[in-house]
Each structure stands twice: as structure tokens, then as C-alpha cells.
Amino acid sequence: MASDFKRKKRTLPAWMTAAHNQTKQIKKSKEGEKNASQEKTSDRLDIKNPKGNGQYVDTDDDATVKSASELITDAMPFIKVPGRVTYTFQSADCACICDEIVSSLEGGSQIPVGFDMEWPVTFRHGGSGKTALIQMYFPDNQCYLFQVCAMNPVPKQLPKLICHEKVLLVGLNIESDLWKLERDFDIRVKCLMDRGAVVDVGRLANKKLKSHERWDLNGLCKNVLGMQLDKNSEIRCGSWDEIPLSQDQIAYSSADAYAGLILYEKLIEL
């Protein structure tokens, strides 16, 4: 699924060059005590691949072919979510939590909040199920998971928080997520777009990196942060509408919201 590094030549930033060298070293040590001519694998490959598509081909045996960028990204550390995760599927709890957060926002300045949503993937008609979960990660390391599909009704305090003037929602493809939210729950999001209270980290990355990629979240994490998300496809395509969520689903969904925030923080520094 990850469409992060394509097999085209790209200039690596300095920090990645270090990882690159490290990966090459790992590969070398894995290959063991080979003779000097075999050590020149990559030189030989440059000749074989004059276009420089970045592939290392192991000519010794039937080993799988991994691109240089795959070797680099496989070795990247996984993102760990700091702080506390609060998860609820109860309408009343959600209302209380949102009220509390809203009152803590009063008087302060605008803060970026990592935002993401999950829903069950349906393979019929290539469609997607109704929004099941809303994740919000705040800069004070508090993560909130609201399983809205189980709330009847979704309390009005939730859209009040999402649309709060002190909240800047940041995430990948966040606008299409918000439009989906409007369709699924009749939560009005147009005002957010109108006053520019959302930041798509993919678009921000393209602007800062002068690129034209269609990013996925993990690709962005790898390129911008030098870290990766644990994108287990079983969890990603799992039952987000099942109550309660599993520990794995909680960890996975909090990491997505957290990644949105730290990507934003990193990108605005560039």
C-alpha cells in the first residue's frame, strides 16, 4: 500500500544519507566474508541499471530484490506514542471530555491538534463504511479516541470541539476526512475550511519539500521524520465499528493522530 519511495532516483537529505550508509553496512555485514570483487555489488549494478533506479540486485542466489530505499526504510525506528490515550464509545463520556477540553482552551492561543478518522473498509462497490472512530492528539500529549459509531447520538460537544476557534486540525487528507464526517454525522465543517483551520500535512510537505507526491501517512513519516508507523494491514482493515476496540486498534489509531501532529510540527520548522 505504501507508495512512499518510488523506484526513481531522488536526492536524499543529509540525515537519510547517514541511514543509507548504515543500511549499506548492514547489508555488507550480512553478506559476510565475501571477496573484494563481490563487495562491489552496487558498482556493478550501476552499470546494469544505467538509469540509476536505485535497486540493489543480489546476483548470488534467488534472494528477493529490495530497493535501496526499502532497505533504508525497513531499518527506521517505529513511532511510539507518548502520553495518555483516553478512549470512549459512550456519548455522555464524550460530552464531558469535550466540555473539559473546550474550557481548557479558553483564553489560550490556537493549538495544532493531530486529527484522523477510521472506518471499516468495505470491498463492495469500492466504498467505505460510516466513520467509526475520531482520533485527536493534543500537544500536551493527550490523545482522545471517540468511537462515534457507537454513540447515539453523537454529542453536540464533539463538533463544538472540532470546530473550536482555538483548534487547528492537522493531518493527512484531512479535508476529505472532514467532508466525510459531515456526510456521516451532519457535522458542519465548511466553517473550518473557510477560516483555514485545517492543515493537510501532505500538501504542507509538498510545499516545503518542493515535491509533488501523493503521500500516504507512513511515507510521510519515513521521509520527513525518518521513522515509520507499524502499518499492520490486518488492523488497518479491521472492524473499527466493533466495541470495544482492541489494544492493537487503540495503539494503531493513536499513532496516526500523533504522527499528524509531529509531522506538522516538523514541517513548519523547515
Q: How open is the CA angle 255-259-263, to the nearest 5 degrees?
A: 175
φ, ψ for residue 81, nearest 5 deg? -90, 115
Which x/- pattern over 203-242 shows residues binding Zn ion (rule: CB under 5 A)? ----------------------------------------
- Smallest distance, Zn ion to C-beta of residue 141, A: 19
Cis ω for the linkage preceding 50 (within 30 of 0): no
Tell the residue number behind the cell numbers 494503531, with chain if given.
252
Closest to Zn ion by CB, 68 vs 134, is 134
Taking the complex as a whole, the smallest distance from the CB of residue 197 to Zn ion amounts, in Å, to: 20
- Which stretches of 136-223 are DSSP H helices? 157-162, 174-185, 190-194, 201-209, 217-220
Q: Which is nearer to Zn ion, 216 or 256 (CB)?
A: 256
The site string for Zn ion over 102-141 (x = CB under 5 A, - otherwise) reads --------------x-------------------------
**Beta strands at 142-146 and 133-138: parallel, antiparallel or unpaired:** antiparallel
4 binds Zn ion (CB under 5 A): no
Q: Show the binding pattern over residues 138-177: x = contacts Zn ion (CB under 5 A), - = does not.
A: ----------------------------------------
For residues 114 and 159, which CB has a smaller minimum distance to Zn ion in the complex? Answer: 114
Amino acid at 207: K
Query: 211 near 219, Cβ under 8 Å?
Result: no
User: Could you say whether residue 256 binds Zn ion (CB under 5 A)?
Assistant: yes
| Cβ contact 177:171 at 8 Å | yes
Please report, as ranges, the residues that interact with Zn ion according to CB under 5 A: 116, 256
